[in-house]
Every structure is written in structure tokens, then in C-alpha cells.
Structure 1
Amino acid sequence: MGRGTTARWRHRVGGLRRAGLAALIAGAVVLPLTGAARPGIPAPAPAALAAPTAGTLEEAYAANRANAAEASRMAAAHGDRHRAAADRSLADPARHLLAFDGRGAGLATEVFGDLARADRVAVLVPGSDTSLDTYDRFRAAALALHRRLAEEAPEGTRTAVVAWLGYETPGTVSTTVATTGRAEQAAPALRALVGALRGTTGPDTNVALLCHSYGSVVCARAADGLDVADIALVGSPGTGADSVADLGTTARVWAGRGAGDWVEHVPHLSADLVGTTVGFGTDPMSPAFGARVFDAGDGGHSDYFDPGSRSLTNLARIALGEITEVTRD
């Protein structure tokens, strides 16, 4: 084997090793939640509803709660008590479900606050392994954000949070978690949600996307021309884009990572393997990406929405438009 051939072979093997390492590590860049989805659980088709308006929100909430109640009954009859309990909780009269689909891993969009009258709306986009079976943890993050927004908001500013489990998130142990495929499938649904919010809120309402882990890949895929004021990428393994400019958005784009988040050590690589792209490219925290880096405190990958955390405070401030430049306070 000639010297040039040997060098090319070593380069190719090195590239494959780097891509494989990126895939393996990206596979763990997830919320460490338990409870695998069980696609065989029966559930009704989602309620057939027109696009919501401020005047029809309560009707939509009621219809989706009724659908969740029926899904609970069907899951119980199927013998799945865990899913039946999860669906039954979502059917509680106090819950505000903008959307619900109990089939498969399940989808739900839940509202916290008075959406129709909100001046500021934060949409929380989850990462991998989030489903109806693990929804309580995601909901806890949304509740913590809602409370922090209320505490931080200037007097007279009304706020709402939308917990958007609107896509089939990739599993922890799967090839999908290391590629942008699920994000590309999810992007139209996230764009549709933002459009629906524009039909239920006032014309001057500001919307912010707060995107955790793999959710940051979803937000990046949906960002082009999206009518939002801010996009925050939190604990992001990368977005699949080289820079903020590649996202095609006029929104302020933020990036934050806790000092204890091991995602910092993810190889920020991207490689084409067998017709798909593995890895997510440029680190959103890097100067080359061009995001506004904010202080996310000392927490780990699952700690960004912990009550009392610096990351939660700064995410609330971003959603409220109170931070406009990089902060390290």
C-alpha cells in the first residue's frame, strides 16, 4: 500500500471514528427519563377542531380533556394502568390542553396561564425521551418556568407558558437521537403551533422558544422566518446549522449551558453516513456560531428549569425581553 493510499485510509478511518463517537455521545444527550413508550396502547383519534381563537380556547381545552379521558378508559381496558393514570391526569378539569393525542408515545400541548390575554408567551420544546409516559417531569419544568415568569414580570405584564410535546421525540437508545431526522419531521408542527398562537393572542404578543437538548435541533429546523422574538438553545448538542445566520431568523438567538452539563464534551461534528447526517455540527456556545451566550449557572443537563436556579431566572428574563445582550451575572 503506497504512502498516499495509507494516508487517505487513515484519514477515512479517523473520520468514521469521529462520526461514530459523535453518534454514541449524542445518544446520551437527553433528559434521563424513565418509561419507554408503548405504541400498542389503544387511544381515540385526536379531537377534530378548527384552529383555535381567543374566543374558542375554552372549547378546545374541554374537547381535548374529553379525548384524554377516553384515552384513559381505553388504556385501562388494555391493562396499562400507568398510561391510564397519565391520561386521566391530563383530563382533569383544571388542565388546559391545546392539543392531545393519546396514540403511541403520545402528544400533548398544555397551556399555563391566560393565553388569550398574555403579553409574553414562552414555548417550551423538550428533548429526547419525552412522551406521555414521562410527561410529569416535562410539565414540572413548564410549571417552574410559569411561576418564575410571574415573579420576574414587570407589573401589568401578563405571561403564559406553552408546554409543547408536539413531536415524537427520539429515544435514548436509538439511531434517531444522533440525527436531525426527527427534528425535520417536527419542524412543520412547531411552525403550525406558533401560527396557532398568533390566532389566539394579541398582535403585540411576544413569543419566545425555549429549546432544551434535542429540542434545540427542532427549533433550529423550524426557525426560518418564524414569527418569534427569541430562541434560546439550552444544553444543546448542536443544531445542525453552522451559525445563527444559517437559521434564517430575525429572532434573538441565545445559547446557555450549565457548568455541570457534560454536553460540553460532545464532539461537535457532522458526517454523512449511509444517506443520513450524523451529529449536529457547530457548538452553539462557540463564537463561530454567533449566538448571545447567557449565564446558565452551575447545573447539569437536566437542571435548567430547577426552581431557584440561575438558568431558570435568565430563561424567564429572556422570555420577558429583559435581557437583550450577553449576561454573565
Structure 2
Amino acid sequence: MSKRMLLIGSGPAHLEVLRSMAEGSWQGVDVCLISPSSYYEHKGMLSGYIEGIYSAEDIRVNAESLLARAGGQFIKKIPSVVYPRQKKLVCSDDTVYPFDVISFDMGESSLLKPSEGTGIERTADPLYKQIDKLKQTNHPLIIGGGTSGIEVAFAMQSYKNNRNIPGDVRLLTSDKTWNTSSPLSNRLRSLLTKRGVRVWENETADIIEDSFILTNLGNKVRNTGVLWLGGASKAGIFDASGIAADEEGRVLVQPTMQLKNFDYIFAAAGHVTGIDEFSHAKKKGSPRKQETVLAENLKRFLTDEPLEIYRPEKPNVSIISTGNQKGLRNYGPVSIHNHRHWKIKNKQDQEFIHSYT
């Protein structure tokens, strides 16, 4: 008898699951991918799209097409709540989907935007369409000081500067810019300010109205539209499902990529989840990419085989796109800002996209 597996969100870990299934090594599994979009949009290339370097097709993977090769079913809906003990998922239109195993890889998607009581409605619009509308306005506001938020702010301001579009981009982050060491954070903030971006650090959006947001420190940040790139929020699906999450809305998973209390619920660590570091610290072994471990463990779980342990790889040297085809690369206490590093990042991003097409 076949088992039913639900994949919630078309994030990169789920692309790896579908690629593995398309190779034909999975047996007795009915897979459904539930997402408001049939595409995975690579956040690392959004800045290039904003500046006109890439087309929409260049920066995304057709997850529905990959799913078809895996013999699965695509359901274009917004998941709202999961009932773990009953093994049921409910979508925003009240349709119910039972499952034997479920996996979450939503990334920085509209599934996690604040909704009720915040003034921002959930949307199934692709990020690039939201960006197309915002970049023409005078004062777009980006919420989120991670890599995606910073790169989008740089690119959107560069787009405006290069076309003499009036106004400035605004960036609100709950931590320091890029949540990193002081020297790099300071340099990023300096580059953003020099480009023309206005930055609010260590503040969160408490009240969101049509033309402004009010921060937790009482600052009123006026804007002509909001793009939420802040990752998880307490209004997300885990909170709605009564699944314990931290103050940022992130749910902890074990090093097997499973929730501690529900072994049939998996999630990719990152924007929506965090690894249980205590249990992880007790394990030894070679590092593996979480996408590979999640795909392998879903397959093993369905066949009652022992699961692998996820051990993070050593962090790669990061390159942040700063607009106008320049990249900032960090080497410990030293950072280098030039066109060469943007070219390296461009090559890496395109190789990632091509690996799933």
C-alpha cells in the first residue's frame, strides 16, 4: 500500500527530494507538492533580476515540472494549519489533505508573511512580481536585514539611481545589518547609506498601516509599499498549528530534520527552522548538505531504515551583491568589494539553477 507524502513549499530542499524521486529509486510513495507557486525563485539572483541582468525565467526553477518527472501531484494552494496528531493539513480554502509524512521547506516565502492583524495580506504573487510593482514607487520598504533583504535594497536603489527615479529605498532589520560581526556590518551599512538606502537597525514592525509602519521603538517609517523578506513570523503556519516555535517563529528540528515530538514531520533548517544544537553537538561525522540529508531521510523514513544525521558544512565565504555588478566578499576581518566577486557569485547562482533544469 502506498504512503502519502506532502511537501509544503517549493524550497531548495524539496527540489532535491523531487530530483531524487525523478531518478526512480523511490517505491510505494504518492507525493503531493502544496505551494502557492509552482516555481522556486532563487533569492540569490533577485538583485540581478531587479537590475535587469536576469529575466524571470533565469532566476527560477519550475518545481511543478520537476514534480511531474517524479510522478507527483501539484496543488496550488496556501497551507494554513497542520494537525500533527491527526496527520492532516488544512489549506486556506478549508480543503483537507491527510498524510503519512509531511515536510516543510517554505523559505522566505509569502506563506510566512504576517496576515491577521498586521495589515499585510498573504499573497501568492511571485516575489519578482511584487518587486516589479515596488521598484517604481518612491519609498519602498524592505523588512529583513539578512542577505536577501540587503541585496534587494542595494539593487532596488541602484535601479532607481541609474534611471533617475526619485525617492529612496528603506530597510528595516530586527538586528544589525546582516546580523554579523561589527566590521562587516558597519561596512554594509556604510555602503547602503552611500548608495542612498535609509536603514533602521535593531527595530521590528509592530503596527503596519497603508502608508507607514510603526516600530517597537516608536519610529514611524513611511513607505509606498512593503516587501517582507524577514523569514519566519509568529503568524506563520507553525504558530497556527500549535507547534512550539521560538520568538522569531522558527521551529526546532532534530539533526535528522524531524520535529522532536512528531517523527513524521520534517523541515529544512534555515529561514523557518533551527537545528537542535544540543543533540547535534553529541554527534560526530562528516558534514552533509541539509537538502541531501532531508531527501535521504524522507526516503529512509518511508522504508523504516535508520536515518542520517545532518552535520552542517563549514560556512562558505559569502558574497553579497551590492548593485551595479559588484560584490562584497568577507574574509574574516577583511572584506573586498569589486566586480570580480560579483562574477564569482553569478557563476555559482547560475550553476545552482541549471542543476535542477
TM-score w.r.t. length of structure 2? 0.28
Instruction: Give 1 or 2: higher strand fraction.
Output: 2
